Structure 1
């Protein structure tokens, strides 16, 4: 351990072994540490250095220690300033990203339902802080970067450095703090902040999300946004200049937001008429991989892409860098690629690039195949940090990532930890499933399932009802869907002719029937049925099913 910071393998207090640095700021670093006493437990250790930060840091520790709420990090240990003036706070490690990062990664467009959900949770937390009978807490710095989103998609409020205890007899705050763009007027005037200050901060944050990243000071009109009038009225009331004119009760804000959340008419936004535009769900990453070599992950990935295309849902199919390049040839790239096409994997690491110029579109699907020469590409992608910017820059409502046989690669494991849906492809030949590598992949699938991930088995080359029953008895949980067994010679014939097998009409109808149970878990059924009403063969299939 040196004078300024902790290093990996250092041990704080004889108990917390440092694993890595997970954040760095002006006042210090945040470390990931393992607990040597509670084996398997990991903590975040927040560091503060410099005399100017010690008071706020100690105040944050004292504030958090007395609180207990599911949307707050728990404090487990505190180390006061050492001889070098460095303090440490040991707290829950929240695996996720903050709302500022999430908003940026989604190109400044958070789905309406997500914003409402997070705002309701924040209201619940603010009510808890404000109604503390012994010591009401005013947070005073509510902003996207201070709101973490954990793996369960719930908020966790962090950084209590400038919070204060409310003292009714005081006429003004001792110090005027807050973040420009989110702070209330009284935070920069000689007035005392109270619970209504936090409500102004909440309104400013909602304004920021619904205007695509504009601060309230920009005075961008909410009337030109695609949000319903009741939501505009809530935000306007939160943002009143005088605290007396704002909401006076946090629970009332929560009730009004819940009414919006439950109102079935809330999605009637202006100009949202087509299925493509009215699709109001957060972009999803779907990982598709083989349980064993040759199970058909690439065939399944292409089939999924074309099914989403059929439903007029924009999607992307990304061939992961751990794969042996195959997609380009299957797409007959030499004939079908756009003129002057450049592989995205050759360009995305450059300083300036735009995925739009590199897109290979086929209807609602965008293809991202690997270059045929994949030399050294794997070495460039040893960690998720290399692939993550690519996924964010090609963000589509649906992103299918074909990892083929790459389950064991560290970057794939990290990708699976953040993916929304994980599809494990198996076929109707059981002998391969008993091999050692297949069993390792099965253990990976089970581990991901136990961690709370949505893990699906997709059976490829399904033969008959008897085999289907055998699969249901063999797998640890039932498959989400079954893809019909298509004659091998027909598939090969299409490949040799440079044609896509999955778009043949009689093939497509069978794929729709097979994949619908899975797709309907990703996209609301009402939207799929709306599209079915405008498609003859699909409409007929729905009538049979219902």
Structure 2
């Protein structure tokens, strides 16, 4: 690659970033470690590349696109600069990730990684692909998944580190501009210069899994069945890799979510098989999703706001979870989150995920550790049944499922969930007229009864502010609120919602809300997801859950 006119260690990019050393170099450019001259002690990774002649505007469009991505397995891009008259190179400033690349880790381990570790790596890569392929208006195809572009950070998490040839998938485009990709990991259609789509990334994922399972061999050079080269791999994993490596895209799995489901099932199975009798049954029960219901004492108390705050705290703690809007309440989550822009194409709304025999995975909306399960706007379903709720919950495969029930505690489809829940969060705000209503007082007695039966009930004081009557308000509740959410300025709430963020996180009030829920998560899950809270009767039918999404 011609990098004449590029920068060298010691140079300063745009009067801000001093290049310290070359971190890596390949066919698509160089990566530098740079120090930030404005933020003392801060270091970044800076990718230097030469865009195709006449395509500077295309580079800027793609860089702007990638800078908007937010996912824990993708590096955060913070700045970018196009070519200039004096320098043909373009630069992308991104998060500097400490860790080791996957190929280096395999070499360090003598070419052998445990199958369980490989499955976990595959699952995390799939989560990133579900996010990328779900982008709007078109999916983002990474196109260069290979071990040297995959890093294990200091916490053991998978990170995709090079977006050099990622592109939007445009159905009307007959082929890619250039047949880019890494031999040994690129899909056959990519190497031929034909059109790539999300299934091309799934082929590359299969090639990476094969590389890890075989101790460093390339899938394209294999002969004979996979089992000959991957002797320590479980048969279901080999079958999945075989499907991913099909030459024709239509013969591969069609969605990353489908592959993610299969890998997650493999993650659980070895743990169960290694245990005997009662221990396996215990693990199976504890592996069920933990159901958390979030509701308001009355409409407008702030249940949706509290559910999103809880989701942010779980994401910060690294817990995979879902926020599900129960179909019996008036839909608002999709609009609040700017679903028209952020939800993936073909997204399956909450009230469309109740089929008893779902034969294909639903298109899910995953951002980082959070899956959003929103109802279709204008589709409130008051006739929703408890049986439909069971089937619906069975399509959500996350460790924690937060269900926003609004103020519909007494609806039959909601009431049956309360005794099965791992916890209830009840939201109230300082509105004396609403608190004194007879139906609210009756609901308070019912919630107190649930608490006496052993269902953990946590009270949330929303819009809590210093006031001479604050004590009177709190005494109207059956228990002192464990979570206090401050009042946000109405203008800031509106601004945040127009940006698709329910919680204005940068405000002092937002920081206080985050701290309150972080403390709750620490109390509720003191030893992680599987060990905290009482065991309860599950409302997920195990046979129904196993093949659905």
Q: TM-score range by the shorter chain?
A: 0.3 to 0.5
Q: Which has the higher contact order (CA 8 A, sep 6+)?
A: 2
TM-score, length of structure 1 as denominator length:
0.45
Larger Rg, first or second structure (1 or 2): 1
